[in-house]
Amino acid sequence: MDRRYSVFASVVQGLLICNGIMFVLELYSGARVIGLLALWPLGVSGTTLFDQSPAHFQLWQLVTYSFLHGSVMHLLLNMYGLWLFGSRMESVWGSKAFAFYYFFCVIGAGLVQLFVATLGAGEGEVYPTVGASGGVFGLLLAFGLTFPNERLMLVFPPVILQAKWFVLIYGGIELLLGFTRAMPGIAHFAHLGGMIFGLALLYFWGWRLGRIWHR
């Protein structure tokens, strides 16, 4: 594996560009893009809010939802995380393994969120899921296990922590917010799904938590 660090690794750069292009399409096409490419709950057939475009689950949405974002800030935060953790992990794994891992986490996060959103739809809460956060949280986990003692700064509050504690804190916060519904409108279980599926794939690849954690 190539362990040289590059500012923009090839797959990461492609993902950044694609996410930027898709955000522009969202701005110009609005609800049509959301209706077709966002992740919608199972068994729900309705219309989007703005132009009555059809909105229901399609299999490709388990991937395409990760290229859509709800706001400029949503896009920037996810792309920063993708660049920060993704470029480093691609330099360690190589492009093919990185791409497989990233989209495995994206799809896994989508499946978890699909289950949660479908349950919510049964209670009358119908909403689409968008964002690359599931893949980014999977990368955060991989980064924390690969470089557990590397120091990172939290955004809120601005505290410097080792990567392993960064992973535990963010994972714990997402778990708490997911079950308490303290911050509705954010796919907390998708974030957790990305981490869980990422951990499962790393374990399948032969990584062992204890062996990595004590570096």
pLDDT at site 104: 97
Helix 95-122 and helix 133-146: axis angle, to 10°?
130
pLDDT value for 171: 80
Residue 44: inside a domain: yes
Look up the CATH number of the domain holding residue 204: 1.20.1540.10
**CB contact burial 53-67 (16+ within 10 A = b; e otherwise):** bebebeeebbebbbb
Q: Which residue, 192, 140, 194, 190, is CA-closest to 165?
A: 140
- Residue 38 domain flag: yes
Per-residue pLDDT of the chain (215 residues; tens, 9 = 90+): 444 555 454 899 999 999 999 999 998 886 788 888 999 988 766 554 444 455 688 899 999 999 999 899 999 989 999 999 999 999 999 999 999 999 999 999 999 999 888 887 666 667 788 999 999 999 999 999 999 999 887 666 677 888 888 888 888 877 777 666 666 667 878 889 999 999 999 999 887 554 544 44
Question: Per the structure, how many domains does the chain have?
Answer: 1
Tokens of 79: 């792309």
Q: How far apart are CA 131 and CA 103, in angstroms?
A: 13
**Is residue 148 included in any domain, yes or no?**
yes
Q: What is the pLDDT of residue 109?
A: 95
Cis peptide, bond prior to residue 157, ω within 30 of zero? yes
- Does residue 5 sit within a domain? no
Residue 184 burial (CB < 10 Å; 0-12/13-18/19+)? Answer: exposed
Determine, yes or no, domain membership for 35: yes
The answer to whether residue 49 is domain-embedded is yes
Give the pLDDT of residue 18: 95
- Is 209 a member of any domain? yes
Dist CA 74 CA 88 (whole Å): 22
Tell me whether residue 1 is in a domain: no
pLDDT at residue 202, rounded to an integer: 94
What's this model's pTM, rounded to 2 decimal places? 0.85
pLDDT at residue number 168: 86
Beta strand spans in 45-165 (E): 45-47, 54-56, 151-153, 160-162
- Look up the domain containing 80 and give its range: 10-213
